[in-house]
Structure 1
Amino acid sequence: MTIKEQKDSCFSGKILVCPLRGHWTSFRLVDEFGDGKPYGGLHYSVIDSIGQEYTGRLDGEGFAKVENHYRGPVVLIMDKRYNGLDQPYEQLIKREYYPLPITELQFRAEQTRFFHDDGFRREHNPAIKDADVFVQVEVRDLVREGAHLPPVVQRFHEPQSSLLRAMSELGIGPEVPFGIALSPNQHNVLEVRPMRALRPMLSTDDSFCALNLYQLALMATLSYTDFAQDPREKPLDKVRFPEDPSIGNLFGEALANYRENWRIDKHQRDRYYPLYEDVPYSKRLEILPFDPTLYAQNHPDKGKDQEHPANQHFFDDQKDGGDTQAFICHHDEVVLISVRGTASLKDAVRDVHALQVPFEEGVGRVHKGFYSAFQAISNFVRSYLGRFYVDQKIIICGHSLGGAIALLLAEALRRSTTQKYNILLYTYGAPRAGDSTFVEGAADLVHHRMVNNNDPVPGVPAPWMNANWKVWVPGLAMTVVSGYGLLVFGAGLVRVGGDPYQHHGRQQHFMPVSFNAKEWSAVLWDPDCESIEKAACTAMLEKTRQGDMPVRDGLLAQLINYTDHMMVASYIPFAWATLRRWQQTQETGASVVTEREYDVVDIALAVLKQKLHEYAQRVRYNEGPRGATKDESATIDALYKERDRLTRTRKRLQNLRYNGLTLADVYGSAAQSPEFTGSVERWFKHAENRRLEQYAMIPRQLDDGLRLARKPLDIDSIS
């Protein structure tokens, strides 16, 4: 008898001509350890070759058997929605925007763990020995809606997808394009891949910690990449994020599939791994699903109003004539916002537009270029928070121009009259963004401001452009443009009237300390004075005759050494070195600053204080017969105030000499996470995090009393 004759004799559409019942199929769901208990009690649905449905629940060992079904393979479906009360699942299921179709199976799979620490599939599950047929499945294989689920990972034991397709082509079985085909009259074992994800470990404490210093340096750098959604616009049925590195790839694919990515810049050579924590998939930093059949706002018919992950998580106002770029995503505890720094000529134009304008969302006046960038991004951020903010900590970060925009954004959100936001801000190499009135009004905003060695960008815009510009920095704005080198804009930035520009936030300064040609270290501390971060500009000005404006060639030569401002070349390595050094300090019980380092830095501060005093005296000596002019008086006043701040800075340094570090100093609130130990151990498994790095090492203490550096810091060059 031919196959066609067999089919014609047994089927009429989906009605069997003769009863061919009496067949059975058994199956069991197990985790990667071969245990079926995690899936015990789950509801299942099995559909046989004529569409007959059999329902039930798995027993306590994850086992079930369907008896007396019609001849042929059957299809297993486990699509029952989760109806528990556990957070954040209930919140995700019931939220107004993009509610997630979370199933009981997904919830259970999120409670299981990988056999291998790196999430790589296990090839030999102990449950294989009890199976006639063994397959490795994903939750998405068994449920109807899977757009919110991670992409499928390569498996050693593929499901019988060809059998499922054949059933569909023959017009038998269920009329749904999902489910797993089970072999009849055999015992089928299905290993369900755990639904675990990785997310960057962050502290939600307001206090500064080395963990956030490092992690947010990576996230700030990631903002320079593209979101890289494929297709970029007008997607039809699904989206992908294949490009690595990219924002979409990291959060939408790599971390969702438990893969530890380290690339956050396409030109990056050294590997800097974030510290990742292992979390249930629903607690990852979420990239919204795209499913036009489930979410009307995803439908291509929406045209320019169509929503998709790229325009919900990624902001770029190029089409509106600007070039501000940022990304935003969230999980149940944190909303993360990262704002990109200068990366184009349009950004550069904003950098130099230093006219002060009113900060309409608060008090004081702010840099017009930075304010226009903030205004461009404001509605995008507020719209996202309006949809997905549920009392999380809002952590904002940014580098350079991105740091200035991030400051204005953070202060505007802090002053919101419609919602009480809990905000934490970290910036890297950020210029001044507002005047003294703005800074005073934003005093309650928690802001940790990082400055690396002699980074020149935090020195602009100059605070006293109409007073002591001859002391601090010429009227210029320096912009580093990716791909184009260094652009220097001078002239036309002298402030006329109004309050001076000031820095906001608690400064954290990374200071290399050289002891001799072969031995050096580095200290991260929080000097109260601003002279430290402007040491390079100060030194340049001191070398000019009688305080005149530096010659253009000399100034350009000074600013060409801009690498202290770069993220991959400088800020990330210094943040990594600080984290490693603080880890060592906490483990050994040592102080943050050794006696040897204290002596070096203290002498350098004493030299700087004396130079400030001498310059103030010289200005006073040069007063005309009618006394000091308004500008001269302002210069003298600023110099003496800075000298007083140096006194407080030396006291802070002295306190560091006796202070040890706690776990909270190093890791903040993350030290209390149940996954903390595993996260740190995972990080140290990478050889890059065990390497010896001079900046990360605690300098040895000499017994011969030789504690002074050959060159006590860069700021000694002003002598």
Structure 2
Amino acid sequence: MKQNAWTRQFFNDRMPACPLHGDWLSFCLVDETGNGKAYGGLPYTLLDSAGQQYKGRLDGSGFAKLEGIYCGPVILLMDEPYSGGDAPYRRLMSRPNYALPITELQVRAEQTCFQNKDGQRVENNPARQKADRFHQVEVSDLVRYKAHLPPPSSEARRPTHNTLRLMADLGFGPPESLFKGLALLPNQFTALEIRPLRALRPIISTDDQFCALNLYQLALMATLSYCEFGQDPPTGGGDTVSFPLNPSIGNVFVEQLSCYREAWKFDSEQVQRFYPLYEDVAYSRRFEILPFDPLLYERNQPPGEHPERIHFFNDVESGTDTQAFICHHDEVVLIAVRGTASGTDALRDADAHQVPFVEGAGKAHRGFYQGFKALYHFVLDYLSRYHIDQRVVICGHSLGGAIALLLAEGLRRIPDASYNTLLYTYGAPRAADSEFTAGARALVHHRIVNHNDPVPSVPAPWMNTTAKLWVPGAVTLFSAPTAGGLLFAAGLVRVGGSAYQHHGEQQHFMPIRLADGTHASVLWKPGCESIQEAGCNRALQLHGDMPDRDNLLRQLFQANQHFMTASYIPAAWATLRRWQQTLESQGPLVTAREFELVDSALEDMREQLRAKRRELARLRPANDRSHEHNDALNAEIDRLHTSRERLASLRWRRLDARDVYGSHAHGANLQLGLKRWFTHRENCALSQVASVPSPLHSDRGKAQILDIDAIV
């Protein structure tokens, strides 16, 4: 086959061939509609086969033509740094930690949008018909530094051969170290469709007010905290890192959301799909996982920093086994803390001894406080680098909720730091005493409790002990419940100090069975912890027993109500759907039928407490004139009455958009996000009450170790 003139490097092994002039090329940059106006005026650099450099600007239609170049392929670079005055871009380019090499091309690509709402490439771009060659390319194909940009799209119509490598092998063009950019073939018109630089990010309200949106979204983020970070290689050794493990924290934020793909799996055993509500944002406004590029950032050189070390806390060195992840965008810093998942977690949870909360007021559960202290400085370091007055949104499930509470209060207490924290916890145990709770009154904390989840009932207000006092009771609790219960109760009585007390505004999932046999949940604020605790802790303290309604042992066998994907997430999804429908219909928050069902359950509880009061009166010795027992039970009965009145008031309450969507109630991206969300069949329940979806047989939620340590 005859060799092209531009590939004949030598006449012989001593005499190089003279480079030839006379080639030309033209090219244009277009969006997915075939329009090049988005790229009009952009500066470009061309390097021909002899290393000659040509600079210019695209015309108003994104087109350029070059004539009289040296024969052979030409390298196209569009690496000019952004020179505009847009403050968010300038801030990213000049920040002290991981300043981003943002180019003019990136900014333009962020202003274009996908034709297909799922981000899939279009097949029939009009520019394709007019060009000799047509390629679908990424911004990363045309710039030198690309670690901060998304991984290339696999479905793109990319160049079929590596002309850059061919040029390097033949010895043409600039030095190989400068071989960055895209190679264009000569004497042809090439159209380059630039993939829009858009990303998806979970919509999170920054309002203090509780909203159904955050209830659901942060349940998913709290569940994601149980996953690995998923970085390959995990130590960052090498030139690049990737995040192939799905699900993993890195995979969700880098491989999926950054590439405009919706993530729905947040638990390694999850089968049922739960999609967050996503908003379509410019790529630079996504939840950021910081770039890894040892050539650009000296701190990436081994054994230095890498994404996992910056965003993922996994304390194996000091022995607390605390795990959490943190990331941010321009409005929110998100922190999610993992719950109990290991034997180390279990031993820490068990240590219910109270220690001073030196960062604020009162005393905290020592095991939870140790987890908080391990995590605290990691979070402070991240905030010192990337906090620019965003709302600090913290979430956690189970043990993670307890640590999240201490973390949120610790951050709020830092003088002059202005960390505006917002906290959502799911199934969290008590983390501190009543003095802490009083001192943290200003902290905004929405505490989500699932009916009959045993974990929020512990530590009981009377617990303050070390593990060695209760372990024998815990061991026998299942093999010999009565003996174990007595031993555990004897070992856990608090001596001195203030009682453990929950913090935050309780939101309680009350289950109901509908007429057709399906299950649903009503979310409300009962204002009565005896509902949550399934009885009277005082009765347990005094008598080693509880009212008949779902006592502690019975709750332990309903432990699936503590799991996220089997219980909390479906109930949160059902609440969001119900509130959406209520907002649309302008109906009441609680229907007459729901009130009847829940009210009946409350009356049953009250009767059980009354029966317990009569039983105690009958068993009390004749010379015992103490009314302590009756006072405790009477207080619980009164709280149930108050809760019923609160429930009754919900029959007349109407929702507004802020109840459902918080700060995004009237946001420009909300309707587009809802439209995307409703394309998924799972989110299209039409019933008046959005029933809790039935879990598949193989999807019972991630079987995290139950916080048995905290329970007992």
Q: Tell me, yes or no, whether TM beats 0.5.
A: yes
Contact (CA 8 Å) 1:243, 1:249: kept in 2 or not? yes
| 1:134-283 correspondence to structure 2 within 5 Å | 134-159=134-159, 161-175=161-175, 176-283=178-285
Name the stretch that deviates more: 96-105 or 149-158: 149-158
* CA shift in 2, pair 1:370/1:100, >3 Å: same
Q: Distance in 2 between matches of 1:75 and 1:49?
A: 8
Change (3 A) 1:263 1:25: same
From the superposition, tell whether residues 6 and 451 of structure 1 become closer, same or farther in structure 2 (CA, over 3 Å). Answer: closer
Inter-partner Cα distance in structure 2 for 1:53 and 1:478 = 80
- What secondary structure, in the 3-state scheme, does the structure 1 residue paired with 2:531 have? coil
Alpha carbons of structure 1 residues 478 and 76: separation in structure 2 relative to 1, 3 Å: farther
Letter in 2 for 1:237: D
After superposition, the Cα gap between the structure-2 partners of 1:124 and 1:323, relative to the gap in structure 1 and judged at 3 Å, is same
Task: Kindly provide the CA deviation profile for residues 217-268 of structure 1, in whole angstroms up to 9, marking residues without a partner as x.
Answer: 1100011110010001142211010000000100111111111111111111
Letter in 1 for 2:25: T
Structure 2, unaligned runs of 5 or more? 465-471, 479-484, 693-712
| SS at structure 2 position matched to 1:451 | strand
TM-score, normalized by length of structure 2? 0.88
The letter for the 2-side match of 1:328 is I
Query: Partner amino acid for 2:69?
Result: H
**Cα distance in 1, alignment partners of residues 116 and 560 from structure 2:** 40
Partner in structure 1 of residue 467 of structure 2: none
CA contact (8 A) 2:535 2:551 kept: no
CA-CA distance at 1:184 after TM superposition: 1.3
Query: Does structure 2 conserve the Cα–Cα contact (< 8 Å) formed by 1:429 and 1:457?
Result: yes
Q: Which residue number corresponds to residue 126 of structure 2?
A: 126
Residue 8 and residue 166 in structure 1: after superposition, are their counterparts in 2 closer, same or farther (change >3 A)?
A: closer
User: In the alignment, is the contact (CA less than 8 A) between 2:411 and 2:419 conserved in 1?
Assistant: yes
- In the alignment, what sits opposite 1:392? 390
Secondary structure of the equivalent of 1:24?
strand
- The structural deviation recorded for 1:671 is 2.2
Q: Determine if contact 1:93/1:100 at 8 Å carries over to the other structure.
A: yes
Whether contact under 8 Å (1:434, 1:503) holds in the other structure is yes
Residue identity in the other structure for 2:228: D
Q: Alignment partner of 2:529: what SS? A: coil
Opposite residue 93 of structure 2, the aligned amino acid is I
What does residue 345 of structure 1 align with?
343
Structure 2 counterpart of 1:685, from 679, 689, 707: 679
User: Deviation per CA, 1:490-544, whole angstroms, max 9, x where unpaired?
Assistant: 45322111111111001100111235573654311011000111227889979xx
Q: CA deviation at 1:477?
A: 12
Match of 1:326 in 2: 324
**Following TM superposition, by how much is the alpha carbon of 1:695 offset from its aligned partner in structure 2, in angstroms?**
6.0
Q: Deviations over 1:283-308 (max 9, x none)?
A: 111101001111111002xxxx5100
- The equivalent position to 2:291 in structure 1, one of 273, 289, 292, is 289
Number of aligned residues = 675
Q: Does 1:54 align with 2:54?
A: yes
1:650 is matched with 644
2:256–2:263 CA contact under 8 A, matched in 1: yes
Q: 1:400 to 1:475 in 2, by over 3 A?
A: farther
Whole-angstrom distance in 2 between the partners of 1:421 and 1:286? 19
SS of the residue aligned with 2:395? strand
Contact 1:527 1:652 in 2 (8 A): yes
Distance 1:291 1:563 in 2: 43
Check the 8 A contact 1:460/1:476 in 2, yes or no.
no
Whole-angstrom CA distance in 1 between matches of 2:529 and 2:131 = 70
Is 1:535 the counterpart of 2:534? The answer is yes
Match of 1:563 in 2: 560
- Judge which range, 589-598 or 4-13, deviates more: 4-13
SS of the residue aligned with 1:99? coil
Aligned-pair identity (%): 57
Structure 1 CA distance for aligned equivalents of residues 575 and 487 of structure 2: 33
CA distance in 2, matches of 1:479, 1:410: 34
SS, match of residue 577 in structure 1: helix
Q: Which moved more, 1:497-506 or 1:633-642?
A: 633-642
The aligned counterpart of 1:447 is 445
From 667, 670, 673, the counterpart of 1:673: 667
- Residue 463 of structure 1 aligns with an amino acid whose one-letter code is P
Structure 1 residues 570 and 83: CA distance shift in structure 2, 3 A: same
Could you tell me how far apart the structure 1 residues matched to 2:97 and 2:632 are?
53
Residues 151-185 of structure 1 deviation map (CA, whole Å, 9 limit, x = unaligned): 11124522265222111112212331211111212
1:166 alignment partner, SS class: helix
Q: CA separation in 2, counterparts of 1:157 and 1:497? A: 71
CA separation of 1:388/1:634 partners in 2, compared to 1, >3 Å: closer, same or farther? farther
2 CA distance for matches of 1:91 and 1:9? 47
Residues 355 and 493 of structure 1 are in contact (CA less than 8 Å); yes or no, is this contact kept in structure 2? no
Q: Which amino acid aligns with 1:132?
A: D
CA contact (8 A) 1:24 1:65 kept: yes
Q: Aligned AA for 2:571? A: F
CA distance in 1, matches of 2:84, 2:476: 56
Of 442-451 and 508-517, the range deviating more from structure 2:
508-517
Question: Structure 1 pair 569/163, CA: closer, same or farther in 2 (3 Å)?
Answer: same
**How big is each residue's C-alpha offset from its partner over 1:64-89, in whole Å with a ceiling of 9 and x where there is no partner?**
11122111121110000012222421
Q: C-alpha distance in 1, partners of 2:376/2:628?
A: 37
1:47: Cα distance to partner? Answer: 1.1
Compare 634-643 and 19-28 and name the one that shifted more: 634-643
CA contact (8 A) 2:244 2:251 kept: yes
Distance 2:477 2:426 in 1: 14
Structure-2 change in CA distance of 1:187 and 1:558 (3 Å): closer
**For the Cα contact (< 8 Å) 1:410–1:425, is it kept in 2?**
yes
Asked whether the 8 Å contact 2:452–2:558 carries over to 1, the reply is no
Helix, strand or coil at the partner of 1:75:
strand
Q: CA RMSD in A?
A: 3.2
Deviates more, 1:647-656 or 1:440-449: 647-656
Q: Deviations over 1:387-432 (max 9, x none)?
A: 1000001110000000000000000001011401111100000000
The aligned counterpart of 1:518 is: 517
Shift of 1:605: 2.9
1:489-500 superposed matches below 5 A: 490=488, 492-500=491-499
SS in 2 for 1:215: helix
Q: 2:364 corresponds to which residue?
A: 366
Shift in CA distance, 620/557, structure 1 to aligned 2, threshold 3 Å? closer
Q: Which amino acid aligns with 2:28?
A: R
- One-letter amino acid matched to 2:241: V
| Alpha-carbon contact 2:326-2:336 (below 8 Å) kept | yes
Deviations 1:33-88 (A, max 9, x none): 11100001100011111111111111111011112211112111000001222242
Q: Deviations over 1:579-637 (max 9, x none)?
A: 111111111111110112223323433443455456457657766688666xxx66555
How far apart in 2 are the matches of 1:279 and 1:581?
27
One-letter amino acid of the counterpart of residue 313, structure 2 = F
> Does the alignment pair 1:602 with 2:599?
yes
Judge conservation of contact 1:540–1:558 (CA < 8 Å) in 2.
no
Secondary structure at 2:162's aligned position in 1? helix
Q: What is the CA–CA distance in structure 2 between the aligned matches of 1:477 and 1:638, rounded to whole Å?
A: 30
Q: Distance in 2 between matches of 1:368 and 1:196?
A: 45
Q: Which moved more, 1:57-66 or 1:517-526?
A: 517-526
Secondary structure of the residue aligned to 2:64 is strand
